[in-house]
Amino acid sequence: MTTTDHEQSVIAAAPKGLSIDGEWRAARSGRTFAVEDPATGHTLAEVADGDALDALDAMDAAARSQATWAAHPPRGRGEILRRAYELLTERADDLALLMTMEMGKSLADSRAEIVYAAEFFRWFSEESVRINGRYTPEPNGRGHLLVLRQPVGPCLFITPWNFPMAMGARKIAPAIAAGCTMIVKPAALTPLSMTALAAILAEAGLPAGVCNVVTSTSAGATVAGILDDPRLRKLSFTGSTEVGRQLIAAASSQILRVSMELGGNAPFVVFEDADLDAAIDGAVVAKMRNVGQACTAANRFLVHESLAEQFGSGLAARLGAMRMGRATDPSVEVGPLIDARARAKVDELVDDAQRHGARVLIGGAPIDGPGHFVAPTVLMDVALDARVLREEIFGPVAPITRFVNDDDAIHAANDTAFGLVAYVFTRDLDRALRVCERIETGMIGLNQGLVSNPAAPFGGVKHSGFGREGGPEGIHEYLETKYVAIHTNAV
């Protein structure tokens, strides 16, 4: 399948260089790397392959710009963010096409991601003027306490390929609002959505040096130097728990402030009083958004024994009706997985579940290339020791197990090292609140299969990380608290 003229013009328009100090430039080494269309395996573009020297240039720019940017009026910061929201909204169709080409997800999913990313710019445009401290009398009446909220300082953002723009937007927008400068290192599999965003931020009026983007195929080596640089003050990472763990260790040398959005293993719990149709609708969203390649994807379906068969056959019917293919075609709902490794892992998990006795309701068989496709798969009565229940699937596979009572369901839901999100379906308010209290996750979707919302604090507990993105909480990640004890004779 070849790209159309429109697709080619969208790719041609996306910047392919490093964005450092307001300039687009090649890597110092002159090296580039190929960005592949996961639906065809064809190269879409060559992008600058930055390394540690380029990252240091970006660090210099971020450090140089920090004081001026922190002094930029909050209203002005907000207006830049608002303009970025408007530009993203105006250009959503082309940006969605670009994202689908480099990442593979359906156009509807890409469009939803652009809207979601844009909403962070709108939300934080409104927050930039509400960074409040306080001035309070000391309890003993002999002085006052002044509490200031100041920008943390230069930040490093490392983002993944599954939401190539939104995972950056959740960090970039509050950092801009708070008055921080930054260096962004997007995933090498999907750099174009981030370079396109950087161009939009510049167009929106963001001064040179505030947001620097370094694309690179050697992530670890590229960021190692700046993680040790005393001018860096904060690291925010979204990606795997394994890499997150290494980065937390690396961040200890300069005692960086750290936010981590790591892996998940979300339980999707359907109680016997649930609205079955709503549960199936929610399951389709929670499982199939991004073809399952989301840390919030429902990974384990725990269904009360009285509903398990109906839920399984209903979900299988819905997943089986979804159209698969290269997702630049708007009728395609299921695109490819990101790469061959991802597909091989999902195929392996399905195979392992079947060897442990799972019943395949739909899908289950590997698909030959080109493109890294996996058929939507529903597995019934998956054994508790099957890998598909223990590992993050990151693919369109729905393993179902049954439970008999609420305690067993909650115990099973919490039986994982992860704690990002859980989905709970019940019409009983008491049960809903009891379960929400006892489930060990940072977020819960109650009778809905989607929790992501720029106005809400997104984040996990346990091995899913710490820190929150979005909502009023989102800006606190980029603010330091300074307290001044005032001795005064005035009062």
The contact set with ligand ADP (CB under 6 A) reads 158-162, 185, 187-188, 219-220, 223, 239-240, 243, 246-247
Please state the length of the chain: 491
Whether the CB-CB separation of 339 and 372 falls below 8 Å is answered with yes
> How far apart are CB 381 and ligand ADP at their closest, in Å?
29
Q: What are 484's two structure tokens?
A: 């001044």
> How far apart are CB 9 and ligand ADP at their closest, in Å?
27
In the sheet that holds 479-486, the strands lie side by side as 134-137, 144-151, 479-486
> How far apart are CB 388 and ligand ADP at their closest, in Å?
17
Catalytic residue among 102, 295, 392, 477: 295
SS3 of 307, please? coil
Torsion of CA 313, 319, 322, 325, to 10 degrees: -140
> How far apart are CB 251 and ligand ADP at their closest, in Å?
11
Q: Is 79 one of the annotated active-site residues of the chain? A: no
CA distance 126 to 453: 15
> How far apart are CB 96 and ligand ADP at their closest, in Å?
20
CB-nearer residue toward ligand ADP: 442 or 465: 465
Whether the CB-CB separation of 420 and 460 falls below 8 Å is answered with yes
Q: Is 211 one of the annotated active-site residues of the chain? A: no
CB-nearer residue toward ligand ADP: 198 or 413: 198
Whether the CB-CB separation of 154 and 127 falls below 8 Å is answered with no
CB-nearer residue toward ligand ADP: 312 or 460: 460
Number of CB atoms found within 10 A of residue 381's CB = 16
Q: Whose CA is closest to 92, among 240, 236, 196?
A: 196
CB-nearer residue toward ligand ADP: 184 or 200: 184
> How far apart are CB 263 and ligand ADP at their closest, in Å?
8
> How far apart are CB 479 and ligand ADP at their closest, in Å?
25
Q: What are 24's two structure tokens?
A: 């687009």
Catalytic residue among 7, 102, 261, 392: 261
Q: What are the E-state strand segments in 353-452?
A: 359-362, 377-380, 397-403, 418-419, 421-425, 443-446
CB-nearer residue toward ligand ADP: 217 or 306: 217
DSSP state letter for 2 = P
CB-nearer residue toward ligand ADP: 215 or 426: 215
CB-nearer residue toward ligand ADP: 160 or 282: 160
Angle at 218 between CA 171 and CA 338, to 5 degrees: 70
Closest residue to ligand ADP in the complex (CB): 239
Whether the CB-CB separation of 407 and 435 falls below 8 Å is answered with no
Q: How many CA atoms lie within 13 A of 115 on its CB side?
A: 9
| Run of H or E including 177 | helix 166-178
Q: Rg of the chain's alpha carbons, rounded to an integer? A: 23
Which residues are annotated as catalytic?
Answer: 261, 295
